[in-house]
Amino acid sequence: MYTIRPIFPHELDMFSAISTPVHRQSSIRAYLEQMFEKGAMRPDWCFVLEKEGTGIGRVAFWTLPGKASPLDIFLLDLPWDDAHCSQLADLLWQRLLLTCRETGVTQLGYVLDSPAAAPQWQENRKERKHILSKLGFELQRETSRFEWNSENGIAPFALMPAPDAGIVYRSLTEVGEDAFLDAIMRGSTSTLDRLIAKERAEHGPLAQAREIFQGLQSMSYEPDWWELAYAPDERVIGFILPTKSPTFATIGYIGVLPDFRGRGYVDQLLNRGVSTLVQAGEKFIRADTDLCNHPMAKAFLRAGFHQFAERSEYRSSLLL
């Protein structure tokens, strides 16, 4: 007899222990408590799959703090070796769809990282990909993941040029939203990011730029962190939009306009973005870039980042 139900707040230990070795359970519980406190997760968004009262699977929803509906699936764990795993995934999915209907969700995302790491520990990669495909999730993007951590003793900007005194930086407060939307539109021209190129072609440059901008606005940032870089002749060189997610600081979005590419300006912008976050007290910064965007990956390495994972981003458009 299988049942699926949301957990109660006092069941965090049980939920953290499902399909998880003992030495990893504390990190999962700590993450859940942090997300509950920030408003990115809720106990009634955490579901346990039980067989005769014993937890054998789990799944949870995640969102950005302040949002009332889920954005992504998190902590998807099933009895991967069970002959009935596919059917159990269907049962779990139907329960998730009920919550999606109740909250008006029409799309859900899921990210699959390699190698497996905290807090999700996504082992059984082959089985996960099979279940995602069966449930209607489509692969949207593949990225390399980079991080900079001051505690590792990595010197930031070790291989980067000194700041260019000819560049003038103007913040969002100074130039306004329209100037940023225009720069993002122009910056997405001939982009090496396949998802951005796809969305630009499908929805148009302005809609795609606005989606990026508003998505970043859902995160934590200060308006003076977001800057456009100008050449001495007042032409826009590029943009940098550092932000903070619920768990780490991130470069957010960075771009150099086509006329200025290949001249090292990406290093200047990345230097500026990292410096902004460091001055705000951040000691841990992450960033993703499309697997095809080799110039950006090299820029991260020059800035003292190191690659720690690859990520596959999936999305399902729900037929509710």
Write the CATH number for 7.
3.40.630.30
- 35 within some domain: yes
Number of structural domains found in the chain = 2
CA angle at 232 for the pair 227 and 235, rounded to the nearest 5°: 60
pLDDT at position 266 is: 95
Q: Are residues 81 and 171 in the same domain?
A: no
- 171 within some domain: yes
Q: Are residues 24 and 172 in the same domain?
A: no
Which pTM does this prediction carry? 0.89
pLDDT at 51 over 60: yes
Share of the chain above pLDDT 70, in %: 95
Q: Are residues 83 and 131 in the same domain?
A: yes
Task: Please state the rounded mean pLDDT for residues 42-60.
Answer: 94
Parent domain of 113: 2-136
Q: Are residues 37 and 130 in the same domain?
A: yes
Q: Are residues 103 and 169 in the same domain?
A: no
CA torsion, ordered 125, 129, 131, 134, to nearest 10 deg:
-170
pLDDT band at 153, cuts 50/70/90? very low
Q: Are residues 158 and 125 in the same domain?
A: no
Least confident of 8-12, 194-198, 269-273: 194-198
Q: Are residues 58 and 125 in the same domain?
A: yes
Q: How many residues does the chain have?
A: 320
Q: Are residues 121 and 25 in the same domain?
A: yes
Q: Are residues 125 and 204 in the same domain?
A: no
pLDDT band at 248, cuts 50/70/90? very high
- 121 within some domain: yes
Q: Are residues 17 and 120 in the same domain?
A: yes
At which of 113, 136, 159 does a domain end?
A: 136
